[in-house]
Structure 1
Amino acid sequence: MITTRTAKQCGQADYGWLKARYTFSFGHYFDPDLLGYASLRVLNQEVLAPGASLQPRTFPKVDILNLVLEGDAEYRDSEGNHIQASAGDAVLISAQPGISYSEHNLSKDRSLTRMQLWLDACPERENPLFQKMTLAHQPQQLIASPDGRDGSLQLRQQVWLHHLEMDKGEQRSVPLHGPRAYLQSIHGAVHALTQNDEKEALTCGDGAFIRDEATVTLVADTPTRALLIDLPV
């Protein structure tokens, strides 16, 4: 079963220096029916104005994945660690209790656009504080997984996150580990097919809840870029 959540249905914020779209309850946006999905707690797309910063804050024990779409970012923690990322990079932060984290747009004349995901972390798992990778331009790339396979970032949770780049008319089937997944369109138009021939179409910024499917098949209606988040637990 596939249930679409369009970009227009998401929470919105515009503070001038920060513009945001929230898939789930976040900040001032609250919906008791949308507090997350399985271990996926947050899925935001945010634009920071030139030179803007998100000030230091602490987080629950989550893995924070930042996918930089445009611009240049720096992430810092209160222990003096820092890492920089540019468009096409993914940064994974293993948030720790008592440590604060900040984000900075390094450019004084360009906006920073990125997607951010929070995933519940298993309490007994410890990973490097910061991990980084550059995405390859290929039809399907595993960018995060529990064991770091195929050069992916290593999560503290049983989640597999795929980055997809598809040409118009291209079809791709992805097997899933369990009963739940979430599909997020970054740009372009794509439709998803289920084993019962159910079809759901997504355009730029739309998402879709996927339930009780062993495999999801995607067909690109235009050149498409998307994330598929495999969430068995």
Structure 2
Amino acid sequence: MITLRLASERGKANFGWLDSKHSFSFGSYYDPQHMGFSALRVINDDSVIPGAGFATHGHRDMEIISYVLEGSIAHKDSEGNVEVLPAGEFQLMSAGSGISHSEYNASKTEPLKFLQIWIQPNTLGNTPGYQQKNFGQILGLTPIATPTGENGTLLIKQDATLAQLILAPKSELTYTIAASRKVYVHQVAGVLTLGTETLNPGDGAKITNVQTITLINTTDDRSTVLLFDLL
């Protein structure tokens, strides 16, 4: 079964400095039909004006992934990590037993656009951790985060895999879903055909009780997708 989560139907929050779209319930946006999907709890599509950002605040027991689409993030946390994440970079912050951090638009002139993703860990009270990596723009399916950290992927404390799929124009990929597992697809850029559905940027799809899916790019431009394989 494929259930669409259209970008136009997401929750919204605008604070002037931050314009955010919520795929799942978050902050003041509450929808009992969209509380998350398996361990995937948050996908926020955030746009931050130049020089602004999130002041120091705390988290615990959450795997927090940031994926920079445009601009760059200035990150600082209580574990001593002071980093800049440019466009194309993935960051995984394991909040564990507790961590505080700030994240600002590193530019005073250019906007910042990034995805903020939260995945619930399968164990609590872990030692906080920080990872950051650019996986490039390789065509096909590129694993980003895995439970083992194998092959240079980010190590996530959950039986979940995050992969980046980039489809060239007029190409497709068939993905096999193991028994009892689910998949969530989030369209980042371009257009994707999934079964009888068409996904545009910001759209998502919950996929359950399906053995294989075929993701097709029928357009003349690249299509970029995040694919979550979950219990």
Q: Summarize the alignment of residues 52-63 of structure 1 with structure 2, pairs less than 5 Å apart.
A: 52-63=52-63
Change (3 A) 1:100 1:128: closer
Mean alpha-carbon deviation: is it higher for 119-128 or for 44-53?
Answer: 119-128
Partner of 1:231: 230
Letter in 1 for 2:227: L
Give the distance between the partners of 1:124 and 1:110, measured in 2 at CA. Answer: 38
Identity of aligned residues (%): 35
Q: Summarize the alignment of residues 211-222 of structure 1 with structure 2, pairs less than 5 Å apart.
A: 211-222=208-219
Instruction: Give, in angstroms, the shift of residue 124 of structure 1.
Output: 5.6
Alignment deviations for residues 132-172 of structure 1 (CA, whole Å, 9 cap, x no partner):
11022212100011001221101000001110111222110
Letter in 1 for 2:50: P
Partner of 1:182: 184
Letter in 1 for 2:185: L
8 Å CA contact retained: 2:96, 2:126: no
Give the distance between the partners of 1:14 and 1:111, measured in 2 at CA. Answer: 15
Letter in 2 for 1:43: I
Gaps of 5+ in 1: 194-198
Mean alpha-carbon deviation: is it higher for 134-143 or for 120-129?
Answer: 120-129
Q: Summarize the alignment of residues 1-233 of structure 1 with structure 2, pairs less than 5 Å apart.
A: 1-123=1-123, 126=126, 129-138=129-138, 139-177=140-178, 178-193=180-195, 199-222=196-219, 223-232=222-231
Letter in 1 for 2:154: L
Superposition RMSD in Å: 1.6
- TM-score in terms of structure 2 length: 0.93
Give the distance between the partners of 1:66 and 1:84, measured in 2 at CA. Answer: 12
Give the distance between the partners of 1:83 and 1:71, measured in 2 at CA. Answer: 14
Give the distance between the partners of 2:176 and 2:136, measured in 1 at CA. Answer: 21
Letter in 2 for 1:214: Q
8 Å CA contact retained: 1:121, 1:157: yes
Instruction: Give, in angstroms, the shift of residue 93 of structure 1.
Output: 0.2
Instruction: Give, in angstroms, the shift of residue 126 of structure 1.
Output: 4.3
Runs of 4+ in 1 over 6 A off after TM superposition: none
Change (3 A) 1:127 1:100: closer
Gaps of 5+ in 2: none
Q: Secondary structure at the match of 1:8?
A: helix
Alignment deviations for residues 156-193 of structure 1 (CA, whole Å, 9 cap, x no partner):
00001110111222110122244311100011111113
Mean alpha-carbon deviation: is it higher for 207-216 or for 121-130?
Answer: 121-130
Instruction: Give, in angstroms, the shift of residue 131 of structure 1.
Output: 0.5
Give the total of aligned pairs: 227
Letter in 2 for 1:168: P
Letter in 2 for 1:216: I
Alignment deviations for residues 35-78 of structure 1 (CA, whole Å, 9 cap, x no partner):
11100010111011100120122223011000000111122213
Give the distance between the partners of 2:132 and 2:228, measured in 1 at CA. Answer: 18
Partner of 1:196: none
8 Å CA contact retained: 1:179, 1:214: no
Instruction: Give, in angstroms, the shift of residue 128 of structure 1.
Output: 6.4
